[in-house]
Amino acid sequence: MESWFEEMKRRRVFRALIGYGIVSFAVLQVIEPVMHGLRLPEWVLSATVVALGVGFPFTLVLAWALDLKGGRIERTGPAPSGRLLLILVVVGLALGAPGVGWYFWKSHRAAPAREESASIAVLPFKDLSPAKDQDWMCDGIAEEIIDALCTVPGLRVAARTSSFQFKEKPADAPVMARALGVSTLLEGSVRKIGDRLRVSARLVSHDGYELWSDKFDRGVQDAFAIQEEIARAVVAALQLRVSSDEAGRLRRSGTTNSQAFEMYLRGRQYVRTLGPENQELARQMFKRAIALDPAFALPRAGLADADITLVQWLLVPKEAQPALRAEALAASDEALRLDPDLAEAHVARANVLAGLGRNDEADASFRRATAIAPGLRDAWYYYGRFLFSLERYADAARAFEESARRNPDDYDSLTLAAMPYERLNQPANARAARNRAVEAADRVLRNSPDDVRALYLSGSLLVAEGDRQKGIDRLQQAIALRPYDFTVLYNAACGFAAAGDQEKALEMLDRAVGTGRGFRTWMEHDPDLDPLRGLPRFKEILARLPP
């Protein structure tokens, strides 16, 4: 062993290994900044580390056999025998393995979630176009920036429903920031003339001080590039550190086809409004966008979302569901083939898989969506619904609470959060969630008194909490606004049943079934209708529905 050690010294093997180690260290110091600058994927760093590790045995073998003298490479002796060559390779791998192993342990161990150090609300952009007819584009650009920022760990992004409440009621920055519970606001404007687009954006602190601003004068086909630049500027201004993968997700899967862009944004407008007519219009818009640009991933995710919304909210007859589920699954799969990091497509796919009973796959898709976009409210909301259906009540409560944390006015998530708390025998938490839901609905109704869903959900909650008359008044308001809407009538029936008014509950249920919608299996198992279950008229109403 001593003679072998001396031979390695004579052949300058140690000097070569030290030199190789210094070069490897230097490469690792510069590779990550270069990756960020060139927007290279994270696997490039892993491949570089592995390559440097594998390089140790090659360096050892070459240093043993060759030397540099007088500017020339010379052999230092006979080539190593097979046994010696094997020893050299093993020693080289042993030298490189600890560094490679440490890197992968450090990179792939479960990292603690980053605490949120900043918060932002993206306000609806103002329409400065001459004809004032670009509302769809103003909202769409703001929403795309919201979705991009939702992928940034450490940044809490107010949900669209919260920040857009100031669309028709602008206020001073401190007032809006305080109402939305954020430290910064992003505001902007859009001016479209022909195929030219002028976008201005400004980031201000909660006390009104400007942190960043810029103007972009481009073609409409550059809209997605503008959105990405704004999102990156916000991350830089807030001094948030992101990995190369996280930075890459700020680049939304876009299109340079201005017509496809318009169809996609118009589809987004429709899909946000429940109702079969709006969802059908959304589907038409998304399909036109796909036809105009088949490589555009976002409208495929939108199509899947519209399809599954029609199924989940019982907006189509039972016989139409299989075709919609199949279309939704195909659309979400294709969207993810085009853009594997599209969180919305993961959520849509998860909802489809859940409806098909493929629960393990659905769970994986939901978890992937929340990992990609931890600030995406819909990912947490639908994950909570899925977890509740699996009787994973503690996980469901956490998901609903996370959804509500992203949007303090999310009365929907808080309403649902009460259910797993009840199942967990935590009545105090359930009551607190219901009270917070009513408070959130009250805030929404102050700004939007005709928000039907806020009316009927809070109405039922008020009844459950003992404020019977106020709850019934809200149910009546919702019915007056949408007298022929199945969802309104059905939820009103549940609310009146809880209030003990069986006749009114049966009347609402009769009218709901009279719209031609509703499923017998659902109504036969809905606990909210338990007070009606033994009544002859209830059985007659159910008998009108197909099995």
**Cα gap 494→389, rounded to integer Å:** 20
Per-domain residue ranges for the chain? 2-108, 118-248, 449-547
Q: What is the CATH number of domain 118-248?
A: 3.40.50.10070
Q: In this structure, what token pair is assigned to residue 229?
A: 């630049």
Q: In this structure, what token pair is assigned to residue 445?
A: 């109704």
pTM for the predicted model, two decimal places: 0.73
**Cα gap 337→348, rounded to integer Å:** 14
Q: What is the CATH number of domain 449-547?
A: 1.25.40.10
Report the DSSP beta bridge partners of residue 109.
Answer: none
Indicate the burial class of 73 (C-beta count within 10 angstroms; 0-12, 13-18, 19 or more): exposed
Alpha helix (H) ranges present in 42-149? 43-65, 82-108, 135-149
Report the DSSP beta bridge partners of residue 200.
Answer: 189, 215
**Cα gap 386→305, rounded to integer Å:** 16
**Cα gap 224→193, rounded to integer Å:** 17
Report the DSSP beta bridge partners of residue 210.
Answer: 204
Consecutive H or E run containing 239: none
Q: In this structure, what token pair is assigned to residue 238?
A: 């807030």
Phi-psi region of 12 (alpha: psi -120 to 50; beta: other; left: phi over 0): left
Indicate the burial class of 161 (C-beta count within 10 angstroms; 0-12, 13-18, 19 or more): middle
Q: In this structure, what token pair is assigned to residue 217?
A: 């004068």
Digitized pLDDT (tens) for each residue of the chain, 547 residues in all:
445 556 566 556 666 666 666 766 666 655 654 544 444 455 555 666 667 666 666 666 666 555 555 444 455 555 555 555 555 555 555 555 565 555 544 444 333 344 456 899 999 999 998 888 888 899 999 999 999 999 998 899 988 878 888 887 767 888 888 888 899 999 999 998 888 899 999 999 988 899 999 999 998 888 989 999 999 999 999 988 887 778 888 887 789 898 999 999 999 989 887 678 899 999 999 999 999 999 999 999 999 999 998 888 777 887 888 999 999 999 999 999 999 999 999 999 999 999 899 999 999 999 999 999 998 989 999 999 999 999 999 999 999 999 998 787 889 999 999 989 999 999 999 999 999 999 989 988 987 898 899 999 999 999 988 899 999 999 999 999 999 988 899 999 999 999 999 999 999 999 999 988 877 877 887 888 999 999 999 999 999 987 7
> Is the separation of the CB atoms in 291 and 251 below 8 Å?
no
